Structure 1
Amino acid sequence: MEHPYIPNSAPRVKAEMLAAVGAADIEEFYADIPESLRLRRPLDLPAPMRGEADLVRHVEGLLDRNTSTRDALSFLGGGSYAHHVPAVCDEVNSRSEFLTAYAGEPYEDHGRFQALWEYQGLMGELLEMDVVNVPTYDGFQAVATALRMAGRVTGRTRVALATPIDPALRSKLDDYLRGAMTIGGPLEGDDLAAVYTAYPTYLGVVDPKTPEYVAAAHAAGAVAVVGCDPIGLGVLAPPSSFGADIVCGDIQPLGIHPHFGGGHAGYIATRDEQRFVQEFPSRLFGIVPTAVEGEYGFGDVYYDRTSFALREEGKEWVGTAAALWGITAGVYLSLMGPAGMAELGEGLMARCRYLMDALASVPGIEVLDAGVPHLKEFAVRYTGKTAAEVDDALRDRGIHGGVVLSKTFPELGESALYCVTELHTQADLDRLAAELKEILA
Structure 2
Amino acid sequence: MTEPFVHPYIPNTAPESKAAMLAAVGAASVDEFYADVPAELRLDRPLDLPAPFTAEQDLVRHVDGLLAKNVSTRQRLSFLGAGTYHHYVPAVVDEVIGRSEFLTAYAGEPYEDHGRFQALFQYQSLMAELLAMDVVNVPTYDGYQATATALSMAGRMSGRRRILVASDVLPAKLSKVRDFVRVHLDLEFVATIDGVADVAGLVSRLGDDVAAVWVETPSHTGAVEAQLRQIADAAHAAGAVLVVGTDPIGYGVLTPPAEQGADIVCGDIQSLGLHQWFGGAHGGFIAVHDDPKFIMEMPSRLFGLATTDVPGEYGFGDVAYDRTSFAHREEGKEWVGTAAALWGIAAGVYLALMGPQGMRELGEVLLARTRYAQQKLAAIPGVALGDGAIHLREFTIDVSGAGLTAAGLVEALRAEGIEPGVPVGEQRLLVCVTEMTTQLDIDRLADAIARLDTGSALLDRRDTDHEASDTAILEEQSA
Question: What TM-score comes out, normalization by structure 1 length?
Answer: 0.94
Contact 1:286 1:298 in 2 (8 A): yes
Q: How does 1:139-218 map to 2 (within 5 A)?
A: 139-184=143-188, 187-218=205-236
**How far off its partner does 1:4 sit?**
4.0
The equivalent residue for 1:385 is 404
1:414 and 2:427 aligned = yes
State the alpha-carbon separation in 2 of the partners of residues 47 and 14 from structure 1: 24
Flag the 1:6–1:177 CA change in 2: closer, same or farther, 3 A: farther
**How far off its partner does 1:193 sit?**
1.3
**How far off its partner does 1:356 sit?**
0.4
Amino acid at match of 2:313: E
After superposition, give the CA deviation of every residue in 1:125-159 in whole Å (9 maximum; x if it has no partner).
00000000000011101111111111111111222
State the alpha-carbon separation in 1 of the partners of residues 37 and 234 from structure 2: 35
**Match 1:428 to one of 441, 460, 468:** 441
Amino acid at match of 2:276: P
1:113 and 2:113 aligned = no
Flag the 1:365–1:106 CA change in 2: closer, same or farther, 3 A: closer
Is the radius of gyration larger for structure 1 or structure 2? 2
Contact 1:367 1:379 in 2 (8 A): yes
The equivalent residue for 1:59 is 63
Amino acid at match of 1:439: L
The equivalent residue for 1:269 is 287
Contact 2:274 2:280 in 1 (8 A): no
**How far off its partner does 1:5 sit?**
7.9
Amino acid at match of 1:377: E
**Match 1:347 to one of 365, 374, 395:** 365
Q: How does 1:22-101 map to 2 (within 5 A)?
A: 22-100=26-104
Contact 1:162 1:213 in 2 (8 A): no
**How far off its partner does 1:49 sit?**
2.9
Q: CA RMSD in A?
A: 2.0
95-104 vs 371-380, greater mean Cα deviation:
95-104
**Match 1:398 to one of 417, 420, 423:** 417
**How far off its partner does 1:215 sit?**
2.5
18-27 vs 110-119, greater mean Cα deviation:
18-27
Amino acid at match of 2:96: V
Flag the 1:352–1:296 CA change in 2: closer, same or farther, 3 A: same
**How far off its partner does 1:175 sit?**
1.3
Amino acid at match of 1:422: E
State the alpha-carbon separation in 1 of the partners of residues 404 and 51 from structure 2: 41
State the alpha-carbon separation in 1 of the partners of residues 110 and 57 from structure 2: 43
Percent same amino acid among aligned pairs? 61
**How far off its partner does 1:317 sit?**
2.0
**How far off its partner does 1:223 sit?**
1.6
1:230 and 2:233 aligned = no
The equivalent residue for 1:438 is 451
**Local SS of the residue matching 2:265:** strand
**How far off its partner does 1:219 sit?**
2.1
Flag the 1:115–1:65 CA change in 2: closer, same or farther, 3 A: same
157-166 vs 327-336, greater mean Cα deviation:
157-166
Flag the 1:381–1:300 CA change in 2: closer, same or farther, 3 A: same
Question: What TM-score comes out, normalization by structure 2 length?
Answer: 0.86
**Local SS of the residue matching 2:173:** helix
1:2 and 2:11 aligned = no
The equivalent residue for 2:265 is 247
State the alpha-carbon separation in 1 of the partners of residues 48 and 382 from structure 2: 40
Alignment gaps of 5+ in structure 2:
191-204, 455-479
**How far off its partner does 1:6 sit?**
7.8
**How far off its partner does 1:314 sit?**
2.0
**How far off its partner does 1:17 sit?**
3.4
State the alpha-carbon separation in 2 of the partners of residues 74 and 90 from structure 1: 23
The equivalent residue for 1:376 is 393
* Aligned positions, number: 434
Flag the 1:386–1:46 CA change in 2: closer, same or farther, 3 A: farther
**How far off its partner does 1:209 sit?**
2.8
Flag the 1:124–1:364 CA change in 2: closer, same or farther, 3 A: same
**Local SS of the residue matching 2:115:** helix
**Match 1:21 to one of 25, 40, 43:** 25
**How far off its partner does 1:440 sit?**
2.5
Contact 1:281 1:318 in 2 (8 A): yes
State the alpha-carbon separation in 1 of the partners of residues 16 and 230 from structure 2: 60
**Local SS of the residue matching 1:96:** coil
State the alpha-carbon separation in 2 of the partners of residues 6 and 74 from structure 1: 44
After superposition, give the CA deviation of every residue in 1:215-245 in whole Å (9 maximum; x if it has no partner).
3321221121000110000111100011101
Amino acid at match of 2:278: F
The equivalent residue for 1:409 is none
The equivalent residue for 1:358 is 376
Alignment gaps of 5+ in structure 1:
407-412
After superposition, give the CA deviation of every residue in 1:297-337 in whole Å (9 maximum; x if it has no partner).
00100011112322212231244310000000000000111
